Every structure is written in structure tokens, then in C-alpha cells.
Amino acid sequence: MDRPSRRNVLVAGGTLGAAGALGAAAPARAAARWTWSPKGSVAGAGEGADPRGVWDPEADRLVASLLDRGEVPKVNRLLRTWTKNGQPLPGGLPADLRDFMERARQLPSWADRGKLATAVDFNEKRGLYLGVTYGFASGMMSTVIPREARAVYYSKGGADMRDRITKTAKLGYDIGTSNAYRPDGEMVVTCVKTRLAHAGVRHLLPRSGHWSRVADEKVPISQADMMVTWHSLPTTVMRNLVKWKVPIPAAESEAFLHSWQVAAHMLGIRDEYIPKSWEEADSQAEQVLTPILAPTPEGIKLADMLLNLGSTIDGGVLSKPILGSLTRYVLGDEIADWLKIRRDPLWDPVFETAWEPFIAVREGLLSLEKAPGALQKAYWAFDEILRLGALLVLSEGDLPISIQIPVTNNPNYPG
């Protein structure tokens, strides 16, 4: 597979991408006491420590040292050339970084190559639906995860949302490729670079007075934060596919989960926090994700930025209403109202009445000729929505996408 450009990453990886990637997400309100047992994890055991007080100490110490030594610009330049999982690390990297990356790039001992291969089949069959759910269930959900919204808004990524989303969309793209974790794939590279970028945000963001004044934490992107965002990805995606009655064989469902379990490990999440099954994932999500969703001024602004990404195609006349209605349909009225998304008299009812029949036609469960009239009229539009113009808007030529360690916070909010 060719190295993904901004354009084909977004086309294959999701309309808006997983806008939070596995970035800083966590509760804004006082969260309940951590009660989820590590017996339900892929590790099957653990200390059971509250993940809100656990970060990524090895990566954090390393990246803080690189920033203090002024070596990050050099490191970012060198790492632009590291693009394939099996590729040797570039020469010239600091020794401590090289040692860390050689360890961090290794798949966990429990990774199952057979399940990862089956996940490829799942992704190939459901690619269009995954695009929608990554983009609108996960991407837009990130704007009502208060800590994530604030961290994105005030960190460097908030200064250029197109660039930010393009890079975070790469995660959804890479995990869906046929060679995701193979030597010629890129998922391992993306995870390791994202892990380093997270450590950079942890070091820099507490220095932002703007962030500190609104944050309810001293250090962002805890293990709990990352798991919250993880649930906004595979857990939320699977819930929507089930709601849309997409028939998924048990083996493929398990394999899809496994691909994301491996991703969580590669992103620096401790095995004792990674759910071992969908049942355990739902149980954990009910404690750490569902209760903490809430609007923030930063999240509302980010959501509006996302909805306006198609404006260079049609001035927002069509794309913004479609994106807004799809968001309302996927996430529900409450979240859409939080984000101040206007109701649309045309597209809201179209999604309500025609989306599930559209999925049934796509799955071969219903013929288009026998489908409701509303679907027959909307089918072409849905087909185009799945390849939405917002994907092309984010393309800035065919330059390879490079996830980097930040060296500053959002320059629009200095101090």
C-alpha cells in the first residue's frame, strides 16, 4: 500500500477522523470512585489503581528531557522518515529515545495474528460505516468530552484543526488497512509517535495559563483519559453498528475489538485497563464515558470548526447541514443541542427515516426497489455522504502525514 496522503487517509479513515485520536479525554464533573476490576482486562489482573492518577511515566520523563534539551525539532525531522512498522529507526536519534522506541514498537505478547487478520475482513466489509462512526460518533463525541475538548483547544493542535484532524484521522485509517500491524504497515509507527506526542502535551499544557484556569486536573491525558477516548472509538462504533442492525459474525466482532486492544497497548495504556471483551468494555464505558459527557465553551467552538470543514467546497450551504444532521442522528438530540447544532427540516427527517434502510440495502438485506420511497430519493446522497467533501477539504496536497512531538501550546492563547 502506498504511503497515505492527507486525502486518502481521510477518505478511508473516516469523514472527520477520530478527532480526539487517543488524546486527552476525561471527566469534567466529579467522577465516581473507580470500581472496574482488572480481572476484566486483557491482563486478567493488576493493581487496580485508579487510572485518573496514572499517566505514562517512562514516555513523560523521556519527552520532557528531549524538550528541555532542545532536541525535539531535530527528532521530529528525523522521525518524518520513519513510516513503516518494520523499518529501522533513523540514525541520529538520541540514545535514550532510540532505546524507548525499540521497546515501544514491540507488539504485546498476547497479540493474536489470526484475530488481526480477521479484523482486516471486518474493516474491508464495514469500511464505509466505520468512516461515519469514527467521524460522527467518535469525532464529534470528542467535543463533549470536557477534558479532551479543553486539551485540544489550548494545545498546539487547536491552532490548526484541519492539520490536527488529518493527523488524528491517520489512526482510524491505519488500523483499518490490510497490513496494519505487519512490517510494511504503519499502525505501530502511528501509535508510537502518538504516544510521544501525548507526552509532549503533558509537559507543555500545564504551562498554559488559559488551560490551567479552566482545567480540573494538573496533568492531562491520564490512563483514564485515554480509556475514555478509546471507548469513544471501538466501543461507540460497535454500539452504533449494532443499533443499525449490521450483521456481524462473532469472530469478526471479537477480531475488531482485538485490533483496538492491541492499539491501546501500543498507545501506552496499561494492560490492566484494557477490557478483554465487549461486555467488559460496555461495563467500563458506563462508568468512565457515559456519565461525563458535557458541553464546554471550547467543545462548542471545536464542534463548529468541524462542521465548517466542508465550507471551501460549497460555502457550507450543503455540507454543514448534512454534517449537523448526521451528528444529531448518530449522537442524539441532547448532544446536538449542547453543541448548538441547528435542527434541519430537510436532512434531520431523512436520516431518521432512511439511514437504517440504507444500511440494510448496503448489507444485501433489502433491495433498493423495495426500499421506502424516502430511501430511494436519498440513496445517492447517502452514498456521497460516506465519501463526504470534508475529506477532500483537509487534503493539502499529497505530502505524507507526520505526527510530531509539540514544542508549543496553541500560539493563539499564549501565556
Instruction: Please write the tens of the pLDDT for every residue from 234-283.
Output: 999 999 999 999 999 999 999 999 999 999 999 999 999 999 999 999 99
Q: What is the mean pLDDT of the chain?
A: 85
Residues 7-36 have a mean pLDDT of 49
Share of the chain above pLDDT 90, in %: 62
**Is residue 134 over pLDDT 60?**
yes
* pLDDT given for residue 136 in this prediction: 73
pLDDT at 396 over 50: no
d(CA 43, CA 271): 5
Q: Which of 57-61, 240-244, 370-374 has maximum average pLDDT?
A: 57-61
Give residue 359's pLDDT. Answer: 87
pLDDT at 118: 96
Band of pLDDT at residue 318, cut at 50, 70 and 90: low
Q: Is 80 exceeded by the pLDDT of residue 380?
A: no
Among 16-25, 228-237, 283-292, 313-322, name the one with the lowest average pLDDT: 16-25
Angle between helices 297-307 and 146-154 in degrees, nearest 10 = 70
Answer left, alpha or beta for residue 364, where phi above 0 means left and psi between -120 and 50 means alpha: left
Residue 315 has pLDDT above 80, yes or no: no
Residue 15: pLDDT above 70? Answer: no
What local confidence, expressed as pLDDT, does residue 400 receive?
A: 64
Q: How far is CA 234 from CA 137, 255, 258, 279, 327, in A?
A: 10, 11, 10, 13, 17
Predicted confidence at residue 277, as pLDDT, reads 98
